[in-house]
Structure 1
Amino acid sequence: MNNHFYGQSFLKELDFSAKELNYLIDFAIHLKALKQQHIPHPYLQGKNIALLFEKTSTRTRSSFTVAANDLGANPEFLGKNDIQLGNKESVADTAKVLGSMYDGIEFRGFKQKDVETLAQESGVPVWNGLTDDWHPTQMIADFMTLKEVYGHLQGLTLTYVGDGRNNMANSILVTSAILGVNFKLGAPQHLQPAPTVISQAQALAQTSGAQITITDDPLTAVKDSDALYTDIWISMGETVDPAERIQALLPYQINQDLLNATGKDSTIVMHCLPAYHDKETTIGKQLAEEFGVSELEITNEVFLGQHSHVFQEAENRMHSIKAIMAATLGDLFIPEEFF
């Protein structure tokens, strides 16, 4: 087996070097091209994949399912009502059972500790589809999208505005630092990343040359940015006062004025979805009626505008997840010297 990644789990971005992450991004772009040309790529023929979901999902579940099928693998969805993960059976015991039957395991849930235990105890590659701390598969898709648009990553400036304490902010911060992408975050001080995450990113930036700026001024945050990124303001399972959160974050809404404040005509807009950009959802309608806001973290005008790459980014979830699964479980030729 000559595969640098074979047997590795994909739990958080901090576990990987710039070369490794760049390889996965480029491999995802390659697999996307194969898919578009209808060229089969069954690198995981005959493998069985368990998809563990404590949290509901559209893109992650669809991406792992389609990616597994394209790779020739057999995916099996196991929702929170299908297994006893941590309820009637410990995570460690579940890991051992699933590891004896499946060749790889995806986990989307709450605790980072749970996905780490699955990887430690199962003996097979485990892929983090999202935890409260990190969202690493999203990062390969996001930086893949940036590379498709700009042709390179090093030296770009990416700004995240909104809730800076969630898994998305953590992941974008450290991934930018690893890859040499200048990163700016605009958020109120009480919603800025934890000091430990900032210090980890700053240490990584020393090597990559990335510049990191954390500010509570949205205009400072977006100036000269090549991409603006946001996420929903209240994360899944989070208990907060919606009125207070909305009031605090309205100045960080990606609207036309904030987009113009970048000073660049070429700035793209990104969002990991779902987005509250209109009243066409139950929650969006409820928030609009209760708080008098029809749009939250991003306006409909910008979301559907020419600068938006959110649906390209969403499609790229599948191609990037396919790259991660194929690299860590497939019989690929990836010489160690490459890294």
Structure 2
Amino acid sequence: MLFNVRNFVNVAKLTGIRKQLLRQFWSGPPAQMSVHLKGRDLLTLQNYTADELKHLLWMASDLKQRIKHKGEYLPLMQGKSLAMIFEKRSTRTRLSAETGFALLGGHPSFLTTQDIHLGINESLTDTARVLSRMTNAVLARVYKHNDLDLMAKEATIPVINGLSDLYHPLQILADYLTLQEHYGGLNGLTITWIGDGNNVLHSIMTSAAKLGMHLRIATPRGFEPDLRITKITEQNSKEYGTKLLLTTDPLEAADSANVLVTDTWISMGQEEEKKERLKAFKGYQITMQTAKYAASNWTFLHCLPRKPEEVDDEVFYSPQSLVFQEAENRKWTIMAVMVSLLTDYSPQLQKPTF
């Protein structure tokens, strides 16, 4: 997988400056806030500081409390539209974005490969510029992360990663909100990943240490996370004083874990590798035997859809499984992202403990 971290960071910085200047031109100076995310892209959690991640989770908690529990109507997206570009099928990402944006009074427009072919019928550059004139934000679920980089560079509106081959930031925000709700905080938790070194893991790796969480990763040989992201993770762990373990032994990784996490072993586009992958991941199924090595307060997460070879029914449907709360929180966290990137709204709820 080709990925130049230095160039990516430079592009992200230049894009952010460009959008900040454009926003100030039209709307004047931004409001004085400790965290101000309006106009930003969300392509990877690596580009967000610890305070910015906490702000997004605080925003999600606030919206969930006010809308779901208090029954308030907050038309924060009224008059705004969202372009949703999906090269890959989806249940949770599509539903959470569509229903969440509409619940806030906005208009989401869903575009599949039958409606728009990124870089085929029209260049990515032209697509980004057209969408910037017709909508207020773009959420794109794509095969190639480089496509998101180019869109963000050319667009004058926020571009949000709904999933790419490299990252899945929206999923991890939902995971963190779920853990914060369950444990009352994130700092000091140990997350254990048992499975493929994929995009979901990459998003955990680039953010967990910023929130004070330790990370233990077990992947089969040949299925490790991207080396460049591993180096970033090692730097983050050192900077924030957290522990990091990479191993091929699932039980070693599970030792003293508060959170057991896995995901599909065969991502979309890898179907031809199914036989090889099932063989390589033998012994990586999460079971109650795995959980015996974890901490007494262990919980289980999975981004769904789940297959039995990844985790057995006893764990998946156990009281320790938070997967359906996790799925619901996809909605509240994506709403938090939209509100943060498109408005000056500040959470009214007291800031949770992280």
Q: Which residue of 2 aligns with 1:147?
A: 180
3-state SS in 2 of match to 1:56 = coil
**Which residue among 21, 37, 46 is the counterpart of 1:14?**
46
**Aligned runs of 1:138-217 on 2, under 5 Å?**
138-164=171-197, 166-217=198-249
**What per-residue deviation string (whole Å, max 9, x for no partner) do you get for residues 305-330 of structure 1?**
11100000000000000000000001
3-state SS in 2 of match to 1:158 = strand
Q: Which residue of 2 aligns with 1:327?
A: 340
Q: Note if 1:52 corresponds to 2:85.
A: yes
3-state SS in 2 of match to 1:225 = coil
Change (3 A) 1:77 1:185: same
Partners of 1:203 and 1:158 lie apart in 2 by: 18
| Aligned-pair CA distance for 1:32 | 0.9
Structure 2: which amino acid aligns with 1:32? K
Partners of 1:332 and 1:117 lie apart in 2 by: 29
Q: Which residue of 2 aligns with 1:33?
A: 65
| Aligned-pair CA distance for 1:333 | 4.4
| Structure 2, unaligned runs of 5 or more | 1-29
Partners of 2:323 and 2:252 lie apart in 1 by: 23
Q: Which residue of 2 aligns with 1:274?
A: 305
Partners of 1:67 and 1:186 lie apart in 2 by: 34
Partners of 1:212 and 1:183 lie apart in 2 by: 5
Q: Note if 1:250 corresponds to 2:282.
A: yes
Partners of 1:324 and 1:158 lie apart in 2 by: 23
Q: Note if 1:265 corresponds to 2:296.
A: yes
3-state SS in 2 of match to 1:297 = coil
- TM norm structure 1: 0.90
- Contact kept in structure 2, 1:43 and 1:331, CA below 8 Å: no
Structure 1 segments of 4+ aligned residues over 4 angstroms from their partners: none
Partners of 1:121 and 1:110 lie apart in 2 by: 19
- TM norm structure 2: 0.86
Structure 2: which amino acid aligns with 1:145? T
- Contact kept in structure 1, 2:59 and 2:346, CA below 8 Å: no
Partners of 1:250 and 1:152 lie apart in 2 by: 34
| Aligned-pair CA distance for 1:189 | 2.2
Structure 1: which amino acid aligns with 2:296? D
Structure 1: which amino acid aligns with 2:178? T
**Residue-pair matches, total:** 315
Partners of 1:105 and 1:177 lie apart in 2 by: 28
Partners of 2:228 and 2:121 lie apart in 1 by: 34
| Structure 1, unaligned runs of 5 or more | 277-294
**Which residue among 276, 296, 306 is the counterpart of 2:319?**
306
